[in-house]
């Protein structure tokens, strides 16, 4: 199975980068599914139904989120109506939406997409390790799904790496999101799980993690309140990861970073 995952899409420039690069990349790689973290897609924080529709129109099949999922309040009544839009699995019981989605290909193969959120320097949610453990008891790799992809949304490299090692061999891939900076550690772990600490962002990299650079610089140098954080609006770069799995085992055979656009060095896929 061929999987494209796109890191946090930040504002208009991020959406435009996806619209510019994803259709051709998906066709060239013959990707079976495209997953994208969309929690910053609408004006740099949160996501609304119109942006969901826009991303689906570009070829995204499933949208994951994170700590900014509720920033646009209109998404609250919408999320239960759209099974392809996920919020972190380890939110408390009764929270709207779901933390996983099973996508079935035309040929009958199935992939379980999981969205979980870390806890270190993040919101104090339920245990993400236990939550994914419980989910895999009902949707085990090679039992009733052909692949399992996890977007682990978190702040620290240590928690993300620990999560990857904990599920190594039980899921096809663990790729992190949230920090907006692509890491150089894409590899296949000992037991066959593809891993990358952070996929980076889809957005303007002539910025501070997607925000117009003058605003956070002023906050750091003056230590005073500034205007609201505003997404940078230059040409965006599309960042993420490409994962290929063995249909017999569900484990990964390939993981490569995706970087298409200005500022960062582009990848050859």
Cα distance between residue 88 and residue 181, in whole Å:
20
Torsion sign (Cα): 66, 71, 74, 77:
positive
Three-class DSSP category at 244: strand
Give the list of residues 6+ apart from residue 180 with CB closer than 8 angstroms, or none: 7, 8, 10, 198, 200, 201, 203, 209, 210
Instruction: Give, for 36, the enclosing helix (H) or strand (E).
Output: strand 33-37
Nearest partner of 116 among 102, 135, 144, judged by Cα: 135
**Of 52, 193, 176, 41, residue with least CA distance to 122:** 176
Helix (H) or strand (E) holding 176: strand 173-177
Neighbours of 267 (CB within 10 A): 16
DSSP code per residue over 44-85: TS---HHHHHHHHHHT--EEE--TTTTSSTTHHHHHTT-TTB
Active site residues: 68
Q: Is the CB of residue 59 less than 8 Å from the CB of residue 26? A: yes
For 160, 238, 261, the CA distances from 265, given in Å and listed in that order, are 24, 11, 8
């Amino acid at each position: 199975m061929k999987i494209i995952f796109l890191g946090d899409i930040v504002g208009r420039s991020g959406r435009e980068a996806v619209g510019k690069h994803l259709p051709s990349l998906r066709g060239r790689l013959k990707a079976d599914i495209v997953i994208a973290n969309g929690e910053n897609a609408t004006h740099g924080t949160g996501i609304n139904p119109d942006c969901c529709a826009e991303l689906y129109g570009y070829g995204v099949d499933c949208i994951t989120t994170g700590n900014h999922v509720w920033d646009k309040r209109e998404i609250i009544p919408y999320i239960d109506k759209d099974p392809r839009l996920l919020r972190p699995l380890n939110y408390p019981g009764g929270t709207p939406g779901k933390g996983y989605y099973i996508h079935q290909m035309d040929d009958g193969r199935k992939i379980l997409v999981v969205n979980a959120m870390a806890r270190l320097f993040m919101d104090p949610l339920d245990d993400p390790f236990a939550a994914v453990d419980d989910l895999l008891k009902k949707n085990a790799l090679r039992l009733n799904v052909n692949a399992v992809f996890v977007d682990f949304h978190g702040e620290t490299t240590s928690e993300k790496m620990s999560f990857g090692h904990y599920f190594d061999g039980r899921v096809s891939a663990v790729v992190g999101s949230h920090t907006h900076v692509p890491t150089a550690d894409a590899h296949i772990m000992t037991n066959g799980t593809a891993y990358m600490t952070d996929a980076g962002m889809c957005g303007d990299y002539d910025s501070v993690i997607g925000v117009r650079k003058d605003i956070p610089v002023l906050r750091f140098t003056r230590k005073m309140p500034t205007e609201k954080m505003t997404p940078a609006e230059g040409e965006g770069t599309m960042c993420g990861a490409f994962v290929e799995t063995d249909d017999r085992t569900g484990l990964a055979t390939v993981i490569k970073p995706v970087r298409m656009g200005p500022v960062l060095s582009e990848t050859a896929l």
